Chains A and B, each alone.
Chain A
Amino acid sequence: MRSSVKTQRNWTLLFVYIILGLFSITTLIPFLWMFLTSFKSLQEVDKPGILPHQWHKENYGEVFKQIPFSQYYLNSFLVAAWVTFLTVVTSAMSAFAFARMTWKGRDQVFLMYLATMMVPGVVTMIPNYAIIVRLHLLDSYTGLIVPASFSAFGTFLLRQFMISIPKALDEAAYLDGASPWRTFWDVIMPIAKPGLAALGILTFLGNYGSFYWPLILIKSDSLRTLPIGMLNFDGNYGRQTNLIMAAGMMSLIPPLLLFLIGQKQLLKGIQMGAVKG
Chain B
Amino acid sequence: MTDIQHYVAPTSLEQAAETLRAGDVTILAGGTDLMPQSQSGRLKIKRTLMNIHHVPELNGIAIDGGAIRIGALATMTDMLQSKLLQQHLPILVEACDHFASDQIRNAATLGGNICNASPAGDTLVPLLALDAEVELASKPNGSLSRRRMPLSEFFIGPGRTKLGATELLTGVRIPLPGPARTARFFKFGTRPALDISTVSIAIAGTLKDGALSQVRVAFGAVAPVPMRAPRTEQALEGRRLDAASIDAIADVARDEVTPIDDVRASAWYRKELIHNITKRMLAHVAQT
Bound pair (A, B): no
Q: Chain A interface (Cβ within 8 Å of chain B)?
A: none
Q: Chain B interface (Cβ within 8 Å of chain A)?
A: none
